[in-house]
Amino acid sequence: MSYTAISTLLMLVVVVSSIWMYWDASSKKIGKVEGVEGIKKGLGNTSALVWAISCMLLWIIVLPLYLSKRKGLIQTAQDHPVEETSRVAKTVLLVFIGLGVVGTAIPRPAKLPKCTAPETSKLIAQIVDARIKDPNKKFKALQDIKQTSYDKKAQARLCTAQFVPVAGAKIPVRFQLTWQDRDAGQFSVVVAPVAAQPTAQPAPSKSP
67-87 tens-digit pLDDT: 998 998 898 889 888 888 888
Q: Is the C-alpha dihedral spanning 183, 184, 185, 187 positive or negative?
A: negative
Domain count, the chain: 2
Whether 17 and 99 share a structural domain: yes
Whether 134 and 46 share a structural domain: no
Whether 84 and 125 share a structural domain: no
Whether 67 and 136 share a structural domain: no
140 burial type by CB count under 10 A (0-12 exposed, 13-18 middle, 19+ buried): middle
Q: What is the pLDDT of residue 195?
A: 52
Q: What is the pLDDT of residue 192?
A: 79
List, for the chain, all residue ranges whose pLDDT scores fall below the cut of 70.
1-4, 35, 37-40, 42-43, 105-107, 193-208
- Distances in Å between the Cα of 194 and the Cα atoms of 41, 68, 103, 135 are 75, 70, 44, 22
Q: What is the pLDDT of residue 64?
A: 93
Whether 14 and 91 share a structural domain: yes
pTM summary value: 0.54
Q: What is the pLDDT of residue 114?
A: 93
- Distances in Å between the Cα of 24 and the Cα atoms of 66, 85, 160 are 11, 14, 62
111 inside domain: no
Residue 82: domain span: 3-105
* DSSP label at residue 24: H
